Structure 1
Amino acid sequence: MHFKFVHAADLHLDTPFRGVAAHGPLLTRFQESTFRALSRIIDLCLRERVAFLLLAGDLFEVKDRSVRARLVLRRELGRLHDAGIGSFIVHGNHDPLSGDTGTLGLPSSVKVFGPDWEEAEVRREGLRLCRVQGISYPDVEVRDDLSARFRRTSNDFSVGLLHANLGGAEGHANYAPCTPSGLDSRGLDYWALGHVHTRSEVVLPGGGLAVYPGNPQGRHVLETGERGCVLVEVEDGGMRRRFVPVDTVRWHRLEVPLTGVGTLDGLLALASEVVEAACARELEGHAVRLVLTGRGPLHRELSRPGALAQLEADLRARLAAVHPPVLLESLRDGSRPELDWEALQVEGGFARTLLEEARTLEADPVALARLWEEEALGSLGQRLKRLGVDVLEAPRKEWVTRASQLSVEALHEEEGA
């Protein structure tokens, strides 16, 4: 038996992008991006002639889904319906069943799983291809392990469609928590998961597979890089998977090294080069966070009040005018002052004394341990432990080096102010 399907999740249709510092056509590109990503998922299904589409929850951004978002979803799934391709949907914490007004129906080829476990058959030309099981969130918060309700019912290729937090993934609410061993015990071949926005796969001990495709459209600077869905091809019980990007606006975090850059013109040119190298031309837009790094002569000038904000405003205007347009999410200064450490040693003074003391401590484990056990540091460690913070039992000598360098840099900044 040979067939294909597409697995997507976390569409978050109609995300408003209120925090995006863009206006006019550029803002429109962001606001349309979640809809455009869905359209590209449907295009992929039609192009690959898949048997069905899986949508693993959080189709909408908010519980009270907009009329616009519901109309777009129906239109796009209608394209699959017209091509004889079915769709399977579960709802998650952003779009629980309790938020559905029931005033807008979906094509008959769309199966929306309810609040109880269900199984559906997928047939083609009278032959059963596989089975799809699923369950939706009745309301926003689901703390039970919903995967425990799934079960293998036959030898057919079996898919579990679920919005869940596998293995306590950080950065996401621990809704419908489950474990790899728990999923494995259910005996299914493929777990089509949603909720976690970072793409990942977990091979289960029994040979099954749990997959997060990630969200198809990044929505902020913590969701960088390609975003898309997974195309799965099943043949004789085996699986091949291919990630397919469908995002139209992409987020980036890029570093711009100040080392060797002596002028503002040079910095602007370098920043533009870094952005151009990272931003694919075939997309409709990009958003970047630029972080200045390294040591350079411009650090002191950019430390002046208002200087970084003025440079950010100029860069934002420049990047918005390129093609495709680039939104500068923010410009952040992670650079350090340019210091001649050898010259500081020759000049003497407090900076030299500080650096020499640090080197002495690094070379003397006993002295380093004694510093760690000083009353102030020791009592701080005890307070942190009481708060549940992990505290190292022994100091690291590189901390002394870093602390001495930061102190000398602070002195240098004050002298240059």
Structure 2
Amino acid sequence: MPFKFVHAADLHLDTPFRGVAAQGPLPGRFQESTFRALTRIVDLCLRERVAFLLLAGDLFDVKDRSVRARLALRSELARLHSAGIQSFIVHGNHDPLSGDTGTLGLPASVKVFGPDWEEAEVVREGRRLCRVQGVSYPDVEVRDDLSARFRRTGEGFSVGLLHANLGGAEGHANYAPCTSAGLGSRGLDYWALGHVHTRAEHLLPGGGVAVYPGNPQGRHANEAGERGCVLVEVEDGGMRRRFVPVDGVRWHKLELPLSGLGTLDGLLDTAVEAVESRCSAELDGHAVRLTLTGRGPLHRELARPGALAQVETDLRERLAQGHPPVLLESLRDSTRPELDLEAVRASGGFARTLLEEARFLVESPAELARLWEQEALGSLGQRLKRLGVDALEAPRPEWVVGAGRHGVESLHEEEAS
């Protein structure tokens, strides 16, 4: 019998969205966005008439989940309960079982997996559609490979619901670490994973698949682009997977080249046009980190004290008045002066010496290491460590190249002023 289910994870309900200004049209939209994403997930379940919903951990943003977040979750799961749709939940490192006060119940159709491995069945018209296995975090830190507790127990489609770090994904705490080989050896058809906020699929040895849907609502600039959940259709032992966006506020990281822009008015107008062209009118709002790049005559203007901050303020006001409104998270300047480095080398002088010395150090690792180990730099490294600042144990060649270029550009700007 064919069936469908939805897999979502890392809702982080009621996340605080630090860094979003308290004034203007956007704060309320941000604060509501995680709740609206959950509503859209439930809407999808109802629209597609799925058999069940899987929530793979970190439903709440903190261990001491807010009453508002718990009430919102219960309300949405009650909508599924009324439609005869089951829900399966595991808890992760942000919302471990130890943080549940037990004062707010969930509908009878909701299965919350405990700290020990369990298996539940989805039955329709007297027939088993699917087996769902899961285990929750008892507390914040779980360092064991929880996937080792899972196993195929019989015929039919089998799902593993787990909050885990597959393959040591960077940027995420290595909780419940597991491997593709390990997951594949358990014999399950679909691993519904949470914890990693970037959407990914991993084909496993033996034919199964492990899926991260990503979080359904981006929370900062490093969670840019579409965010959502996965709709899975199972038929005749096979499956089709489709990502469905549910985010209401979308984050973007954009670059704007300075080439061809000769005035601040032109820069502002071009920036507004570039941002608005990337921001869908169908969403509740957007947030953008905009980086100015390239070389152009405006570089010197932007380098004046306070200039970039003034441009940022003006641009932020313009974007906030759009429909939908756009939050300018930050305006960053990575531009360079109009300077031909090859011409500098050909002209000779101190600037050429700087560039040649930088090139020599990059091409001579021993000399670069010797410079790094000199008393002044070594003493600086020790002082940084005493202050709690990570100090590099070895130099990076790209820093040397950048330092040489920066020195030449500074000389060029001094001569031109």
Structure 1 length as normaliser, TM-score? 0.91
Identity %: 77
Distance (Å, rounded) in 2 between the aligned partners of 1:370 and 1:135: 50
Query: Which SS does the other structure have where 1:295 is aligned?
Result: coil
Aligned partner of 1:369 among 364, 367, 386: 364
Give how far 1:339 is off.
1.8
Provide closer, same or farther for how the CA distance between residues 217 and 407 of structure 1 changes in structure 2, counting only shifts above 3 A.
same
Distance (Å, rounded) in 1 between the aligned partners of 2:132 and 2:232: 14
Give how far 1:340 is off.
4.5
> How do 1:16-95 residues align onto structure 2 when only pairs under 5 Å count?
16-95=16-95
Give how far 1:273 is off.
1.4
One-letter identity of the residue aligned with 1:248? G
> How do 1:184-199 residues align onto structure 2 when only pairs under 5 Å count?
184-199=184-199
Residue 142 of structure 2 contacts residue 175 of structure 2 at CA under 8 Å; is this kept in 1?
yes
> How do 1:12-411 residues align onto structure 2 when only pairs under 5 Å count?
12-341=12-341, 344=344, 349-352=349-352, 354=354, 368-369=363-364, 372=367, 375-377=370-372, 404-411=404-411
User: Which deviations, in whole Å up to 9, do the C-alpha atoms of 1:8-31 show, x marking residues without a partner?
Assistant: 000000011132125243100000
| The 10-residue stretch of structure 1 (336-345 or 246-255) with the greater mean CA deviation from structure 2 | 336-345
Give how far 1:270 is off.
1.1
Query: Which SS does the other structure have where 2:29 is aligned?
Result: helix
User: Which deviations, in whole Å up to 9, do the C-alpha atoms of 1:110-153 show, x marking residues without a partner?
Assistant: 00001111000001111100100000111111111111111110
Residue 185 of structure 2 contacts residue 205 of structure 2 at CA under 8 Å; is this kept in 1?
no
Give how far 1:378 is off.
6.6
Give how far 1:406 is off.
2.8
Distance (Å, rounded) in 2 between the aligned partners of 1:277 and 1:52: 37
Distance (Å, rounded) in 1 between the aligned partners of 2:305 and 2:200: 43
Provide closer, same or farther for how the CA distance between residues 111 and 298 of structure 1 changes in structure 2, counting only shifts above 3 A.
same
Query: Which SS does the other structure have where 2:158 is aligned?
Result: strand
Residue 21 of structure 1 contacts residue 329 of structure 1 at CA under 8 Å; is this kept in 2?
no
Distance (Å, rounded) in 2 between the aligned partners of 1:266 and 1:371: 48
Residue 6 of structure 2 contacts residue 232 of structure 2 at CA under 8 Å; is this kept in 1?
yes
Distance (Å, rounded) in 2 between the aligned partners of 1:203 and 1:390: 38
User: Which deviations, in whole Å up to 9, do the C-alpha atoms of 1:286-305 show, x marking residues without a partner?
Assistant: 00000010001111111111
Distance (Å, rounded) in 2 between the aligned partners of 1:277 and 1:42: 30
Question: Who is 1:2 aligned against?
Answer: 2
Give how far 1:242 is off.
0.2
Give how far 1:414 is off.
3.3
Give how far 1:403 is off.
5.1
Residue 57 of structure 2 contacts residue 92 of structure 2 at CA under 8 Å; is this kept in 1?
yes
Give how far 1:415 is off.
3.4
Distance (Å, rounded) in 1 between the aligned partners of 2:141 and 2:9: 18
Distance (Å, rounded) in 2 between the aligned partners of 1:306 and 1:22: 23
User: Which deviations, in whole Å up to 9, do the C-alpha atoms of 1:284-324 show, x marking residues without a partner?
Assistant: 10000000100011111111111111111111100000010
Provide closer, same or farther for how the CA distance between residues 341 and 164 of structure 1 changes in structure 2, counting only shifts above 3 A.
closer
Give how far 1:343 is off.
6.1
Provide closer, same or farther for how the CA distance between residues 68 and 389 of structure 1 changes in structure 2, counting only shifts above 3 A.
same
One-letter identity of the residue aligned with 1:45? C
Query: Which SS does the other structure have where 2:128 is aligned?
Result: strand
One-letter identity of the residue aligned with 2:57? G
CA RMSD for the aligned pairs? 2.6
Give how far 1:259 is off.
1.2
One-letter identity of the residue aligned with 2:371? A
Residue 25 of structure 2 contacts residue 325 of structure 2 at CA under 8 Å; is this kept in 1?
no
Provide closer, same or farther for how the CA distance between residues 102 and 382 of structure 1 changes in structure 2, counting only shifts above 3 A.
same
Aligned length: 407
Distance (Å, rounded) in 2 between the aligned partners of 1:88 and 1:370: 56
Give how far 1:338 is off.
1.2
Structure 2 length as normaliser, TM-score? 0.91
Give how far 1:344 is off.
4.5
Distance (Å, rounded) in 1 between the aligned partners of 2:110 and 2:358: 68
Residue 88 of structure 1 contacts residue 111 of structure 1 at CA under 8 Å; is this kept in 2?
yes
Distance (Å, rounded) in 1 between the aligned partners of 2:2 and 2:270: 51
| The 10-residue stretch of structure 1 (406-415 or 140-149) with the greater mean CA deviation from structure 2 | 406-415
Give how far 1:349 is off.
3.8
Structure 2 segments unaligned to the other structure (5+ residues): 382-389
Distance (Å, rounded) in 1 between the aligned partners of 2:365 and 2:311: 46
User: Which deviations, in whole Å up to 9, do the C-alpha atoms of 1:87-112 show, x marking residues without a partner?
Assistant: 00000111111111111111110000
Give how far 1:355 is off.
5.0
Residue 113 of structure 2 contacts residue 136 of structure 2 at CA under 8 Å; is this kept in 1?
yes
Provide closer, same or farther for how the CA distance between residues 270 and 127 of structure 1 changes in structure 2, counting only shifts above 3 A.
same
User: Which deviations, in whole Å up to 9, do the C-alpha atoms of 1:58-86 show, x marking residues without a partner?
Assistant: 00011111111111111111111111100
Distance (Å, rounded) in 2 between the aligned partners of 1:168 and 1:105: 35
